[in-house]
Amino acid sequence: MKYDVKMLTLDEKLKLLTGVDYWRTYSADGKIGEVVMSDGPCGLRKVRDGKTEASACMPSPSVVANSWSKEAAFLDGKTIADECVEKDVDVILAPGTNIKRTPLCGRNFEYLSEDPYLAGVLAREFINGAQSKGVGTSLKHYCCNNREFERFNQNSEVDERTLREIYLPAFEEAVKAEPWTVMCSYNLINGIYASENKYLIDDVLRGEFGFNGVVVSDWGAVHNQFRRVRAGLDLEMPYSDGAYNDLKDAYERGYITEEQIDRSVKRILELIEKKESAVKSVEYSAEERHANAVAIAKEGIVLLKNDDDILPLKGGKILVSGEYARAPQICGGGSARNTTAYVQTGLDKLISEKLGAEAEVSYLFSRTRTQGISDSLNKTYVAAYDSDTVVICVGNDYTVESEDFDRQGIRLSKTAEDFILNTAAINKNVVVVLYAGSAIDVSEWVESVKAVVFAGFAGEGVNEALSSVLTGETVPSGKLSESFPTGIEETYTGLEHGNGFAERYSDGIFVGYRYYEHLRLPVEFPFGHGLSYAKFTYSDLKIKKTGETEYEVSYNVTNESDFAAKEVSQVYVKDVFSSVLRPKKELKGFSKDEIGAHETKNITVKLDYRSFAYYNVSLKKWYVENGAFEVLVGASSADIRLSERITVELAEDTQYSTGY
């Protein structure tokens, strides 16, 4: 090791435990190096001398998750890190992998999924991608920060099994990629702040998940210096005035020992060494980063509905309307919001370019974000009447979906809904494009329109990606990483958010599709749903046992169409009989594959112990109960195409007696 704790005086060590300003660590007057951190998950937000520098706005993590593509997540991390290298940033404050417990959470656009398996795998790949560039990551926000309301004070009251099965696994999986840092969240978990939570930091994250990097506080999440050091939180960010005095005082009173201080100092020194020994090079030009943003957005756009195969657009008179067509919402608000220098070309122009002489594409500005009828809407109705197809671009902006507050509801503005309904009343070929960071309640108008495309907050490449998907140059392949409920009232939490200080996670393990399936509630668009212009059939499910609880699940997916396309196939596991209450099924594997026209691809997905286990609170460990399990392979959580029953038989002495 180049640096040793012995190189520093006690005072220097105490100072090292807190940042020196908003983004940098303390360098002890140049004795040691410093680490520069910056946000965030949608692209670099580098602040220099109080000014935010422009950088590539990548698709939001929610769009990356809708791609269900490990390669896309890797490329996303790599592209953002590449810009970090160029702009002298050592650690990117991403990815965020909190579970989407409610679609109201203002930061859902920054997070990956309602499903811990999908969220974990994609966070892991983002980290692998970023760190392949020699740039560290900060896996955040650990943990149970599942909404923004009262995020600094709110106590998430979560039972152990729920914690283990829903809220921790994404972190557990992502930690396998060895992120340089993990960021604790603001909230309390079961009465103890995340920043002081020894159980979650030292025992679980380090002890059980094997994390050996630096645990950093979310910005301003430290409430007490000695409690956080004792808990294993190494680095407080940003600089805070009283931190050094409080730490010194705590040391002198014997509340913390030098050994405890050294533990954290050593980890911060290791982080500095990692940064210094990293091999870094800028690989992409601004144009190439933009091209990566477009490529990822193409993978993440989801075709939700496509009656009469109205899409891809076939030509004729096409009216594109809604202000987002020209000024798309590419990112949500808060610390993840980055500014890009990229100047958008209107969606209408790009569609026109791609369709050429076959189409006459026009655009009319129509304001749909605010309430009230504007003159421009009426003009649009007149034009819509005279068009073959109308593409309506509507959704939320960064003032609606942002860090620091939650959404008030999940419907579009009344103006937007009325606009869709009125247009659909005069033109039967309406295509709605949605821009949002999380689920939208489409129930008011979805039956009236032919097609719905969920763009999400797809970054600066959104119009290129959308025009490509809408015209059929790209076959859509995104699938929902969160369920779209029929209304906010149909979600477990509805419009409630605890009592202001505490929120009991009484939905337990029934989050997202696990909840709707458990209660047999219909949803508008299920988890894993996404249409294609191609048609895929599934066949020949074979399950090969390769170990005690290891299986290879293989199946064929055939592309029945005349063109190549990608399909996300999903593998769920259902415990047929269980001594504890379990979800109807859980995602345990998936694969995204490009399949040529009329070709068949044989796909293999591996299952292991954890695919069958539940967290047994009495045993304090994951436990597989012998018996029948169903392996379900499908195109979405609600579209299971193949299934087979297997029997897991572990040695008798590993099992407990059951009542069935």
Q: Which residues are catalytic?
A: 218
Does residue 150 bind ligand BGC (CB under 6 A)?
A: no
Does residue 106 bind ligand BGC (CB under 6 A)?
A: no
- What is d(CA 497, CA 149) in angstroms, rounded to the nearest whole number? 8
Residue among 14, 32, 40, 197 that touches ligand BGC (CB under 6 A): 40
> How crowded is residue 613: how many other Cβ atoms within 10 Å of its Cβ?
18
Distances (CA, A) of 443 to 267, 417, 430, 549: 51, 10, 15, 42
Nearest to 461 by CA among 325, 336, 284, 295: 295
200-219: contacts with ligand BGC (CB under 6 A): 218-219
Residue closer to ligand BGC (CB basis): 218 or 575? 218
Least separation, in Å, of the C-beta of 46 and ligand BGC? 11
Q: Which two tokens stand for residue 98?
A: 């909190």
Least separation, in Å, of the C-beta of 47 and ligand BGC? 9
Q: Which two tokens stand for residue 164?
A: 């283990």
- What is d(CA 332, CA 107) in angstroms, rounded to the nearest whole number? 8
Least separation, in Å, of the C-beta of 380 and ligand BGC? 39
DSSP-assigned states of every residue in 2-30 = ---GGGS-HHHHHHHTB-SSSSB---TTT
Does residue 510 bind ligand BGC (CB under 6 A)?
A: no
Residue among 140, 354, 588, 641 that touches ligand BGC (CB under 6 A): 140
Q: Which two tokens stand for residue 292?
A: 């990566």
Least separation, in Å, of the C-beta of 225 and ligand BGC? 19
DSSP-assigned states of every residue in 413-479 = PHHHHHHHHHHHHH-S-EEEEEE-SS----TTTGGG-SEEEE--S--TTHHHHHHHHHHTSS-----
- What is d(CA 228, CA 271) in angstroms, rounded to the nearest whole number? 19
Q: Which distant-in-sequence residues (6+ apart) come within 8 Å of 447 by Cβ?
A: none
Least separation, in Å, of the C-beta of 657 and ligand BGC? 47
Q: Which two tokens stand for residue 637?
A: 């959580």
- What is d(CA 607, CA 395) in angstroms, rounded to the nearest whole number? 39
Number of residues that bind ligand BGC (CB under 6 A): 7
Does residue 19 bind ligand BGC (CB under 6 A)?
A: no
Residue among 55, 335, 477, 549 that touches ligand BGC (CB under 6 A): 335
- What is d(CA 396, CA 329) in angstroms, rounded to the nearest whole number? 7
Least separation, in Å, of the C-beta of 269 and ligand BGC? 23
Least separation, in Å, of the C-beta of 304 and ligand BGC? 29
Nearest to 527 by CA among 486, 491, 482: 482
Residue closer to ligand BGC (CB basis): 335 or 491? 335
Q: Are 603 and 554 in contact (CB under 8 A)?
A: yes
Residue closer to ligand BGC (CB basis): 189 or 430? 189
Q: Are 571 and 642 in contact (CB under 8 A)?
A: no
- What is d(CA 21, CA 8) in angstroms, rounded to the nearest whole number? 20
Least separation, in Å, of the C-beta of 40 and ligand BGC? 6
Residue among 25, 35, 39, 319 that touches ligand BGC (CB under 6 A): 39
Residue closer to ligand BGC (CB basis): 219 or 284? 219
Residue closer to ligand BGC (CB basis): 150 or 567? 150
Q: Which two tokens stand for residue 92?
A: 């990117």
Q: Which distant-in-sequence residues (6+ apart) come within 8 Å of 207 by Cβ?
A: none
Residue closer to ligand BGC (CB basis): 457 or 615? 457
Strand partners, 181: 138, 214
Least separation, in Å, of the C-beta of 218 and ligand BGC? 5
Does residue 437 bind ligand BGC (CB under 6 A)?
A: no
Residue closer to ligand BGC (CB basis): 46 or 227? 46
> How crowded is residue 424: how many other Cβ atoms within 10 Å of its Cβ?
20
Residue closer to ligand BGC (CB basis): 110 or 460? 110
Identify the DSSP state of 177: G
At residue 265, φ and ψ (nearest 5 deg) are: -60, -45
Q: Which distant-in-sequence residues (6+ apart) come within 8 Å of 15 by Cβ?
A: 26, 28, 244
Nearest to 96 by CA among 68, 70, 73, 67: 73
Least separation, in Å, of the C-beta of 209 and ligand BGC? 20
Does residue 331 bind ligand BGC (CB under 6 A)?
A: no
Evaluate the CA torsion angle 592, 596, 599, 602 in order and state its sign: negative
Residue closer to ligand BGC (CB basis): 44 or 646? 44
Residue among 57, 80, 93, 231 that touches ligand BGC (CB under 6 A): 93
Least separation, in Å, of the C-beta of 84 and ligand BGC? 14
Q: Are 318 and 388 in contact (CB under 8 A)?
A: yes
Residue closer to ligand BGC (CB basis): 201 or 455? 201
Residue closer to ligand BGC (CB basis): 111 or 536? 111
Residue ranges that bind ligand BGC, judged by CB under 6 A = 39-40, 93, 140, 218-219, 335
